[in-house]
Amino acid sequence: MNDTNHTQLENLLILDRMDDLTVSDALYPFALDELLCRHTGKGGPAICHIWRHPRAFIMGIRDSRLPQVEQSRQWLESQDYEVAIRNSGGAAVPLDLGVVNISLILPKQEQADLHFHRDFEMMYKLIQMALLETGLCVDKGEIAGAYCPGDFDLSIHGRKFCGIAQRRQAHAYIVQAFIIAEGSGQERAQLVHEFYKQAATGAEASDYPQVAASSTASLEELTDLKQDAAHTFADAVKRVIQAHQTPSVLSGTTSELHLPELVEVLNMTKTLRSRYEVKS
């Protein structure tokens, strides 16, 4: 990890919401990220937000514009998925308790923040270090047939387990990663394939990802992280951060984590939903 990334880990506060499932709205964690990012941009601390959702299907903005997306939304809801559109980059991603989500909420640093690859690289290095004890090589680079494809697909043995996206504000930004920790990667990829099969009827092939079920796997399938792989991985991420934190951050004597009031987050979820809703 380079000096800049190392410095940012030193001052990173951890917000662990792995088991905080009290608010079922799938946009709640994205709304919380949005508000935390505003605070970070005003001089607040950098944050690592770790969270899960029990059953949701999160579309990208481009997905929401596909010709038959309303039909696909209804199909997903009939299977008890909560459907939402996120305000960061990337394409469709299914969420469940086997998927760990990490948001790095960081202040902009002028010249250093001219290229988004630096931000993605920090997330890649964090995940790579968290998986160091598995003894496996974590590769980066687009995996053909994977859902939510991108240059920073993370994979082991050629199968994707993680995707990275970002959301930028005026004075801070959020790097978001989903990590498929438990269960079947193939089943999740098949679900996304079926979504596009319906939603993209009448669209050009270049308008949406061509998803193949065999492209994706979970850490449970790829590594020796077997039982409770989600918590095992999340704990490893926290250990990496804590190993780099300064004594003052570890002792809580520096900037404390400022959490917005529940009503603020709920209001932001409404704002995000109205701004990015599926047009029926």
Cα torsion angle, 149, 107, 38, 245, sign:
positive
Domain boundaries, the chain: 3-268
Q: Is a pLDDT exceeding 90 seen at residue 249?
A: no
pTM comes to 0.93
Residue among 37, 48, 137, 148 flagged as catalytic: 148
Element (H, E) at 83: strand 82-85
Q: Which band of pLDDT confidence, cut at 50, 70 and 90, is reported for residue 218? A: very high
Average pLDDT over residues 86-96: 93
Q: Name the DSSP letter for residue 135.
A: T
Q: What is the largest CA-CA distance in the chain?
A: 57
225 vs 146 pLDDT, higher one: 146
CATH of 3-268, picked from 3.30.930.10, 3.10.270.10, 3.40.50.720, 3.40.50.2300, is 3.30.930.10
Residue 162 designated active-site = no
Per DSSP, the three-state class of 211 is coil
Contact residues for 252 (Cβ-Cβ < 8 A; gap 6+): none
* Lowest model confidence (mean pLDDT) among 45-59, 67-81, 113-127, 231-245: 113-127
